[in-house]
Amino acid sequence: MTTLNTRAVHAGRDDLVELGVHAVPLDLSTTYPSRDSRTEADRLDVLCTGAQVDGPPVYARVGNPTVARFETAMAELEGCEAAVAFASGMAGLSACLLAGVSAGKPHVVAVRPLYGSSDHLIASGLLGNEVTFARPDEVAGAIRDDTGLVIVETPANPTLSETNLRRLSDACGPVPLLADNTFATPALQRPAEHGARIVLHSATKFLGGHGDVLGGVVACDEEYARKLRQLRFLTGATLHPLAGYLLLRGLSTLPLRMRAASETAAELAARLSEHPRVAKVHYPGRNEHRPEKQMTGGGPMLAVEVHGDPHAVIGAVRLFTPAVSLGSVDSLIQHPGSLSHHIMDPADRADGGISEQLLRISVGLEDVEDLWADLDQALGGSSTA
């Protein structure tokens, strides 16, 4: 079997030589003409159920050839039967929640912390779901007859805490486990290999990798994918073809970007742990009790709890981009309590271990010495008591 590096370059592109092209074709069609309306009606009846059929997709809300290439690639990289792309990660999560509600399984068990908007959506009940928040060792006891989903994010946003997926999957029993793999990506972790049935990504982040595309994707088995395609068709939460093109292009460099950024993040975490203005460093690579054989390395994300005013640090950086989001080639820093997790109730943030002193850092591809110099001066200098 080829390595992940090779699969990342070739996945979704296997037929290009036969097509006589080198770059992936970009199909921007919104509709697909046919003079045989009887056949098209029959095909549409099948497509509306979420099943796949040969031939063009009839209408862009049903599917798109460029987006389908990205889906094929993500299914291969995550080791799943299928993948379904959405307009954003939140659209993908919404489809998963609606799948449970429509099947008469509206109850969700969720492990905090999660991305702030994910937490808010699940807790709000806007899509007709109910939720019980539980620690990993409490999940089995929280599952009910109407539980349709268990949700976890590992490494977690923004504390970088890790959850043992195999152990959690065993606790779920027959209930599907959804693992948000946005922070690790399949370059560092493949949740399906550890028992997760559903793997969610905000593709906007590391999969795209350049801060210029919005999207989401869910990797899963074909049975679950059919339900998600049906929901996507009916709700219109489709990924734009240009976004699919950019995301597929981003995958080709994903392993290299993740490896390089992870090396820098590990070095920054080590230095920050010695900084007098830093009270605590959150970084998977520094955790002595990590799940074995689950994630490769520590990843490109880290977080620090600082002494003093965290907002002063945000205002003082010059090389880091002070902005929400993550996963770009340039390094970003933000205050979760004010941005990515601001939508949550303060008590819920505290329940998830999200301190008001916490800063989340997404490490990019800049030189480690330049990044360190910027963090050091923003923190007030390593010699400052």
What was the pLDDT predicted at 382? 66
In the predicted model, what is the mean pLDDT of residues 46-62? 89
Which residue is associated with the tokens 């008469």?
Answer: 104
Best CA proximity match to 330, nearest among 200, 183, 205, 167: 205
Q: Which two tokens stand for residue 357?
A: 């002193």
pLDDT at res. 371: 98
**Structural domains of the chain sorted by starting position, each given as residue range(s) with its CATH number in brackets:** 4-251 (3.40.640.10), 254-378 (3.90.1150.10)
Mapped onto helix, strand or coil, the DSSP state of residue 200 is strand
Tokens of 228: 């998600």
Give yes or no for residue 383 having a pLDDT over 70.
no
Q: What is the DSSP letter of 202?
A: E
Structure tokens given for 330: 């340039």
What are the structure tokens assigned to 282, written together?
């959150």
CA–CA separation, 148 and 145 (whole Å): 9
- pLDDT band for position 55 (cuts 50, 70, 90): confident
CA distance 112 to 93: 16
pLDDT in tens, 301-348: 999 999 999 999 999 999 999 999 999 999 999 999 998 999 988 998
| Burial of 114 from C-beta contacts in 10 A (0-12 / 13-18 / 19+) | buried
Residue pLDDT, tens place only, 349-370: 988 899 999 999 999 999 999 9
Tokens 């592109």, residue? Answer: 13
The two tokens of residue 70 are 């990205």
> What does the DSSP assignment read for 25-39?
P----SB---S-HHH
Query: How high is the pLDDT of residue 385?
Result: 39
293: left (phi over 0), alpha (psi -120 to 50) or beta: left
Is residue 113 over pLDDT 60? yes
Burial class (CB in 10 A: 0-12, 13-18, 19+), 256: middle
* pLDDT tens-digit map of 56-86: 888 999 999 999 999 999 999 999 999 999 9
The answer to whether the Cα torsion of 40, 42, 43, 48 is positive or negative is positive
Over residues 104-130, the mean pLDDT reads 97
Contact between 238 and 216 (Cβ < 8 Å): no
Strand 198-202 with 147-153, pairing: unpaired
Mean pLDDT of the chain: 95
191 Cα distance to chain centroid: 12
Binning pLDDT at 50, 70 and 90, where does residue 37 land? confident
Q: Considering all CA atoms of the chain, what is the largest pairwise distance in Å, rounded to the nearest integer?
A: 78
Q: What is the pLDDT of residue 191?
A: 98
Residue 7 has pLDDT above 90, yes or no: yes
Phi and psi at residue 64, to the nearest 5°: -150, 135
Lowest mean pLDDT among 110-114, 200-204, 283-287: 283-287
Q: Do residues 116 and 74 make contact, with C-beta atoms less than 8 angstroms apart?
A: no
- Model confidence pLDDT, tens digit, residues 253-279: 999 999 999 999 999 999 999 999 999
Catalytic residues: 61, 115, 180, 205
Determine the Cα–Cα distance for residues 272 and 247; give it in Å rounded to an integer: 33
Q: Is the pLDDT of residue 296 over 50?
A: yes
In the structure, what pLDDT confidence band is assigned to residue 289 with cuts at 50, 70 and 90?
Answer: confident
> What integer pLDDT is reported at residue 384 of this predicted model?
45
